[in-house]
C-alpha cells in the first residue's frame, strides 16, 4: 500500500514541478489524445499568468490536424511559447515546433528534423478516393504556405524539398530558417 502511495506522491510532485516551471512535453506520436492533453496544459498555464511557457518536443509526427490544433494554440495564447526540440522533430511534430516564433525555436545538439508532404491512407469508393486526394492536395498547399512563412523559404522551395523525406541536422535547420539556436543548457535560452 505504501509503494502505491509513494508512486502517486512522486507523480503528483513531478506534475506540480512541471506545472510550476511552466513546462509542457510533447513526446511520441501526434494524435488527438496528445493534442488534447497538450492544449489543456497550454490553456491552464496561460490562465495562471503571462510568463513564457517552455515546450519540449520529440516526435515522429502523426495526425496533421492534431498537430494543427497545438500549432494554432501556441499562436493563440498570450504567453510566448519557447519550443525545444530533442531527439527528432518530424512531420506533425515539426508543424507544432514552428508554431512558436522563430526567435523562440531551440533544440538540443543531437536533434534531427524531418519535413515531408502529407500522406494518408486513402481507400473506399472511387469517388471517395478522389475527394481524399483533393483534400491531401489542399493540405499540402497549406503545409507549404505555413512552413514558408515560418522559415522564410518560398512555398515552391518547400514543395520541392518535401517531395520526399527532407532530413535536416541542427546546422541545416538553422540555415533553412526552421530553428534559431542550438542550446546545451537551460541558461542558453
Query: Would you say residue 87 lies in a domain?
Result: yes
Query: Would you say residue 188 lies in a domain?
Result: no
Residues 40-95 have pLDDT tens digits of 999 999 999 999 999 999 999 999 999 999 999 999 999 999 999 999 999 999 99
CA separation for the pair 25, 93 (Å, rounded): 12
Query: Would you say residue 175 lies in a domain?
Result: yes
| Contact assessment for residue 22 and residue 45, using Cβ atoms and an 8 Å cutoff | yes
Query: Would you say residue 72 lies in a domain?
Result: yes
pLDDT of residue 21: 92
Bridge partners (DSSP) listed for residue 30: 62
Look up the domain containing 110 and give its range.
2-116+165-182
Per annotation, catalytic residue among 39, 66, 91, 180 = 91
**Structural domains counted in the chain:** 1
All three cell numbers of 24? 509542457
pTM, to two decimals: 0.89
For position 41, which CATH number holds? 3.90.226.10
pLDDT of residue 11: 57
pLDDT of residue 6: 66
CA separation for the pair 189, 183 (Å, rounded): 7
127 is catalytic: no
Query: Would you say residue 149 lies in a domain?
Result: no
Positive or negative: CA dihedral 69, 70, 71, 76:
positive
154 is catalytic: no
Per annotation, catalytic residue among 58, 116, 127, 185 = 116
Query: Would you say residue 27 lies in a domain?
Result: yes
Per-chain mean pLDDT for the chain: 92
Q: Does residue 108 surpass a pLDDT of 70? A: yes
Query: Would you say residue 60 lies in a domain?
Result: yes
Amino acid at each position: 500500500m505504501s509503494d502505491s502511495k509513494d508512486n502517486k506522491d512522486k507523480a503528483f510532485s513531478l506534475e506540480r514541478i512541471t506545472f510550476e516551471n511552466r513546462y509542457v512535453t510533447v513526446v511520441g506520436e501526434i494524435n488527438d489524445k496528445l493534442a488534447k492533453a497538450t492544449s489543456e496544459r497550454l490553456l491552464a498555464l496561460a490562465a495562471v499568468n503571462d510568463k513564457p511557457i517552455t515546450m519540449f518536443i520529440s516526435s515522429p509526427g502523426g495526425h496533421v490536424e492534431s498537430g494543427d490544433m497545438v500549432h494554432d494554440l501556441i499562436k493563440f495564447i498570450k504567453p510566448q511559447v519557447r519550443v525545444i526540440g530533442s531527439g527528432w522533430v518530424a512531420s506533425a511534430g515539426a508543424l507544432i515546433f514552428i508554431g512558436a516564433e522563430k526567435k523562440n525555436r531551440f533544440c538540443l545538439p543531437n536533434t534531427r528534423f524531418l519535413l515531408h508532404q502529407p500522406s494518408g491512407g486513402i481507400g473506399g469508393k472511387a469517388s471517395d478516393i478522389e475527394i481524399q486526394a483533393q483534400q491531401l492536395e489542399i493540405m499540402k498547399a497549406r503545409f507549404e504556405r505555413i512552413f514558408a512563412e515560418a522559415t522564410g523559404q518560398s512555398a515552391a522551395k518547400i514543395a520541392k524539398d518535401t517531395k520526399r523525406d527532407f532530413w535536416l541536422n541542427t546546422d541545416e535547420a538553422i540555415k533553412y530558417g526552421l530553428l534559431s539556436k542550438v542550446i546545451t543548457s537551460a541558461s542558453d535560452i
